[in-house]
């Protein structure tokens, strides 16, 4: 039936074309625009914009926040995933749902929750104020909300992996005389290491990119509590479009590297199975 | 191996966050003053450290009401420099961080610089807009932000209201008749607004970039700054030289106030410096920088005539002339159920 195959070929080509132009229009084109704008005044201007003092301070803050939030969430994520995947207990389903809460709550609400908790009239506000400890409108507040919004990523990544593997290998290890910790380090963890890496990458991307929740608790102090995403908005609002897009291009390359790493990790991951 | 390295590096790269404890001052301000305070802070740091220890001014910008809210909930501001007195009144009322008579402590009602409300129209002024009365014509689309959320929009609204009042009072009409007319006038004006943005910059974007509306009601300093910035960036000039400024016959004198936050400076032992900082705004240096950044100096005699030439002359009335005080104006016009709520109904389809 040559007519039929021809028609189906044409249909295939059509669908591919539509898909490709969709990807180009909604993915590639905006990224190209950012790069074009960022470099519109040449590489030297781009570099000057990147190495501006306030930008570097914002970058340092963003890296600091990620460097604290990601390891903590990694630790927490592994523990919670281990608990949920390997043990049966009452309230397990509830816990599983609760982990997703930060993904479901709009970021601005996450920020406001922390203002209500640590603001001067908040539950803990007076306590910290007595000791002159500034939580909200300072770096600790930014770190707290970042931890909150990035909490689910590692755990989410690990729970399905760990549950799929079941408990046979662990049971074997224990019956051969391994201690709980040994089993965890030697058996459980190596099995999911690429999943962990995957989770770290996602968690890190969100930690560095978070805007809404951080904007609420930041206090917008220049060179001090402005993270990189907030700084981009400031530059844009100050009609400094080139600088805003130069930094955005930095973010885009960061995201690209992240995705490449992620691709690598999933490749390894699939090879194992 | 690779994995273990990555895992380790994650934990090892936790840097210590340490903050230097040099003398500093936090100025919490609203959005359009960014460029001005950037330059003013440098000058003050030079001035202060020439006779005292070194100082670093920390600067924060956001919407005026948002900033007031942040100070109330714990942002450690030594001084606030906001868009309208009402926002500092709120801080005084809700947190008692400063006395309620704060506005009497510095010259010119604690406003070292002022501004007013003017119009931006499209090149050639196709709708022939010259004054407030042209804004209520049925074929004119007006762009301004929402008075519920924007400080600028409150000034816009009160400027229009004051213009209408004044026009009837000039005809020797009674107060009540003038008030009634003002409400009708502002109602007609608000009917002409296709979209109410939340802030002044949002409205500028709607008008300039999205090309919506025939006239933008905005701050004089914002309009002048936008003009300067747009003409500076060469790539954008062709697209953005399509506007002109229109000066109405009468407008409101907008007085952005400044204040020291007493309880915070006493706690941080920074009162002397904070007071010097605000007083420095009233010196020739501060006044000249204000003019350079398109704010009208409160003490024009300290500034060269040449530098004042950018400010168009027009008749200005003060908030107190027609509305008594911000608290009263807020209660009557902008509080829930106030005249704005009565007037504004989202356009029926």
Collect all residues of chain A within an 8 Å Cβ-Cβ radius of residue B35: 238
- CA of B105 to nearest chain A CA: how many angstroms apart? 26
Residues B31-82: tens digit of each pLDDT: 889 889 999 999 999 999 898 888 899 999 888 888 999 999 899 999 999 9
Using alpha carbons, list the distances in angstroms from residue A54 to A230, B1, B92, B143. Answer: 12, 37, 32, 34
Query: What is the topology classification, in CATH, of domain A42-272?
Result: MetI-like fold (1.10.3720)
> Measured between alpha carbons, how far is B224 from B118 in angstroms, rounded to an integer?
10
Closest residue, chain A, to B201 (C-alpha):
A237
A-chain CB neighbours of B15 within 8 Å are 64, 67
- Mean residue pLDDT of chain B comes to 86
Beta strands in B135-241 (DSSP E): 142-145, 196-197, 215-219
Would you state the pLDDT for residue B144? 92
Please state the domain extents for chain A.
1-38, 42-272
Asked if residue B231 has pLDDT above 80, the reply is no
Calculate the CA B337 to chain-centre distance.
25
As a whole number, mean pLDDT of residues A4-22 equals 88
Contacts of B48 (CB under 8 A, 6+ apart): B55, B273, B276, B277
Residue A219 near chain B (CB below 8 Å): yes
Residue B222 binned pLDDT confidence (cut-offs 50, 70, 90): confident
- Asked if B25 and B277 count as a contact pair (C-beta separation under 8 A), the reply is yes
pLDDT higher than 60, residue B7: no
Q: Residue A272: what pLDDT?
A: 52
CA distance B147 to B135: 17
Q: What is the pLDDT of residues A84-128, one digit of tens each?
A: 988 888 989 999 999 999 999 999 999 999 999 998 888 888 888
Residue B234 pLDDT > 50, yes or no?
Answer: no
Instruction: Report the share of chain B in percent with pLDDT over 70.
Output: 89
C-beta separation of A252 from A34 below 8 A? yes
Neighbours of A177 (CB within 10 A): 7
Given a cut of 70, whether residue B145 has pLDDT beyond it is yes
Average pLDDT of the residues in A151-157: 93
Nearest to A237 among B10, B60, B201 (CB): B201
Smallest Cβ–Cβ distance between A70 and the set B10, B60, B75 belongs to B10
Share of chain A above pLDDT 90, in %: 44
Question: Chain B contacts of A120, Cβ < 8 Å?
Answer: 72-74, 95
* Least confident piece of the model among A1-15, A53-67, B134-148: A1-15
Cβ separation B31–A220 shorter than 8 A: no
Query: Rounded to whole angstroms, how far apart are CA atoms B10 and B14?
Result: 8
Interchain CB distance below 8 Å, B58 and A234: no
pLDDT above 70 covers what percent of chain A?
96
Whole-number pLDDT of residue B16: 37
Lowest mean per-residue pLDDT among B178-182, B209-213, B219-223: B209-213
What digits encode the pLDDT tens for the residues B197-219?
877 777 887 888 778 999 999 99
Q: Which residue has the higher pLDDT, B21 or A117?
A: A117
**Stretch (H or E) spanning B189:** helix B175-191
Domains and CATH numbers, chain B: 24-111+255-282 (3.40.190.10), 115-254+314-343 (3.40.190.10)
**Does the pLDDT at position B259 exceed 90?**
yes
Q: Report the alpha-carbon distance of residue B98 to residue B71 in Å, rounded.
A: 11
Is residue A262 a contact partner of residue A201, using CB atoms and an 8 Å limit?
A: yes
Mean pLDDT computed over every residue of chain A = 88
Sign of CA dihedral B170, B174, B179, B180: negative
Residue A267's pLDDT is what?
73
A221 with B26: Cβ contact below 8 A: yes
Confidence band for A271, pLDDT divided at 50, 70 and 90: low
> Considering only A112-126, B7-21, B117-131, B169-183, which range has the smallest mean pLDDT?
B7-21
Collect all residues of chain A within an 8 Å Cβ-Cβ radius of residue B14: 67-68, 71
Whether residue A245 has pLDDT greater than 60: yes
Residue B313: DSSP 8-state? P
Asked if B60 lies within 8 A of A64 by C-beta distance, the reply is: no
State the pLDDT confidence band at A237, using cuts at 50, 70 and 90. confident
A2 CB-near residues (< 8 Å, 6+ apart):
none
Contact A139 B7 (CB under 8 A): no
Alpha-carbon span A219 to A214, nearest angstrom? 9
Which ipTM did the prediction report? 0.74
Give B31's contacts in chain A (Cβ within 8 Å): 237
Residue with tokens 């601005």: A108
CA distances from B268 to A242, B80, B274 (A): 39, 15, 11
With beta carbons under 8 A apart, name residues in chain A contacting B10: 70-71, 74, 200
Q: Treating both helix axes as pointing N-terminal to C-terminal, what angle do A139-150 and A193-209 enclose, rounded to 10 degrees?
A: 130
pLDDT at residue B285, rounded to an integer = 96
**Predicted local distance difference test score (pLDDT) of residue A27:** 86
SS3 A17: helix
pLDDT of residue A58: 94
Do A219 and B72 make contact, defined as CB atoms within 8 angstroms? Answer: no
Q: What is the DSSP string of A196-219?
A: HHHHHHHHHHHHHH--HHHHHHHT
Q: Which distant-in-sequence residues (6+ apart) come within 8 Å of B265 by Cβ?
A: B78, B271, B274
CA distance B271 to B265: 5
CB proximity list for B177: less than 8 A, separation 6 or greater? B168
pLDDT at B235: 47
Calpha distance B67→B14 (Å, rounded): 32
**Residue linked to tokens 């039936």:** A1
Tell me what the mean pLDDT of segment B274-297 comes to. Answer: 96
Which residue reads 């981009």 in tokens? A232
pLDDT of B335 > 90? The answer is: no
């Amino acid at each position: 039936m040559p007519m039929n195959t021809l028609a189906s070929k044409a249909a295939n080509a059509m669908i591919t074309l539509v898909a490709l132009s969709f990807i180009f229009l909604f993915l590639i084109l905006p990224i190209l625009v950012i790069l074009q704008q960022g470099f519109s005044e040449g590489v030297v201007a781009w570099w000057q914009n990147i190495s501006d003092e306030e930008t570097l301070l914002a970058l340092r803050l963003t890296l600091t926040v990620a460097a604290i939030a990601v390891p903590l969430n990694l630790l927490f994520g592994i523990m919670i995933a281990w608990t949920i995947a390997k043990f049966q207990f009452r309230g397990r389903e509830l816990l599983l749902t609760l982990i997703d809460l930060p993904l479901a709550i709009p970021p601005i609400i996450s920020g406001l929750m922390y203002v209500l908790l640590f603001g001067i009239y908040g539950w803990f506000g007076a306590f910290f104020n007595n000791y002159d400890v500034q939580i909200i409108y300072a770096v600790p507040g930014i770190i707290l909300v970042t931890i909150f919004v990035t909490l689910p990523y590692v755990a989410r990544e690990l729970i399905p992996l760990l549950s799929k593997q079941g408990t046979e290998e662990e049971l074997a290890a224990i019956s051969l005389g391994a201690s709980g910790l040994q089993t965890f380090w030697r058996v459980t963890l190596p099995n999911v290491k690429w999943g962990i890496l995957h989770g770290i990458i996602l968690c890190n991307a969100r930690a560095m990119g978070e805007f809404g929740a951080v904007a609420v608790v930041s206090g917008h102090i220049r060179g001090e509590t402005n993270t990189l995403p907030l700084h981009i908005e400031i530059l844009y609002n100050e009609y400094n479009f080139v600088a805003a897009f130069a930094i955005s291009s930095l973010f885009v390359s960061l995201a690209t590297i992240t995705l490449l790493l992620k691709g690598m990790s999933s490749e390894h991951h699939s090879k194992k199975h | 191996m690779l994995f273990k390295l990555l895992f380790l590096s994650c934990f090892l790269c936790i840097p210590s966050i340490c903050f230097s404890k040099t003398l500093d001052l936090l100025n919490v301000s609203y959005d359009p003053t960014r460029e001005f305070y950037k330059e003013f802070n440098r000058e003050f740091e030079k001035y202060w450290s020439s006779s005292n220890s070194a100082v670093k001014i920390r600067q924060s910008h956001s919407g005026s009401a948002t900033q007031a809210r942040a100070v109330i909930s714990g942002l450690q501001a030594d001084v606030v420099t906001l868009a309208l007195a009402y926002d500092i009144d709120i801080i005084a009322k809700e947190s008692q961080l400063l006395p309620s008579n704060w506005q009497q402590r510095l010259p010119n009602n604690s406003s070292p610089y002022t501004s007013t409300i003017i119009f931006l129209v499209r090149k050639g002024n196709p709708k022939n807009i010259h004054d407030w009365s042209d804004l209520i014509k049925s074929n004119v689309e007006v762009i301004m932000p929402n008075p519920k959320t924007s400080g600028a929009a409150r000034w816009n609204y009160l400027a229009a209201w004051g213009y209408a009042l004044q026009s009837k009072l000039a005809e020797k009409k009674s107060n009540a008749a003038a008030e009634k007319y003002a409400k009708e006038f502002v109602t007609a004006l608000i009917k002409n607004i296709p979209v109410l943005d939340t802030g002044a910059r949002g409205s500028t974007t709607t008008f300039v970039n999205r090309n919506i509306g025939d006239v933008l009601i905005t701050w004089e300093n914002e309009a002048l700054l936008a003009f300067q910035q747009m003409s500076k960036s060469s790539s954008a000039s062709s697209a953005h030289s399509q506007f002109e400024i229109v000066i109405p016959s009468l407008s409101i004198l907008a007085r952005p106030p400044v204040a020291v936050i007493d309880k915070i400076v006493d706690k941080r032992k920074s009162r002397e410096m904070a007071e010097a900082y605000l007083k420095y705004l009233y010196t020739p240096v501060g006044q000249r920088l204000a003019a350079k950044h398109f704010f009208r100096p409160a003490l024009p005699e300290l500034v060269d005539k040449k530098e004042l030439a950018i400010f168009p002359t027009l008749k200005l009335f003060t908030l107190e002339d027609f509305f008594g005080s911000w608290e009263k104006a807020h209660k009557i016009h902008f509080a829930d159920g106030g005249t704005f709520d009565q007037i504004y109904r989202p356009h029926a389809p």
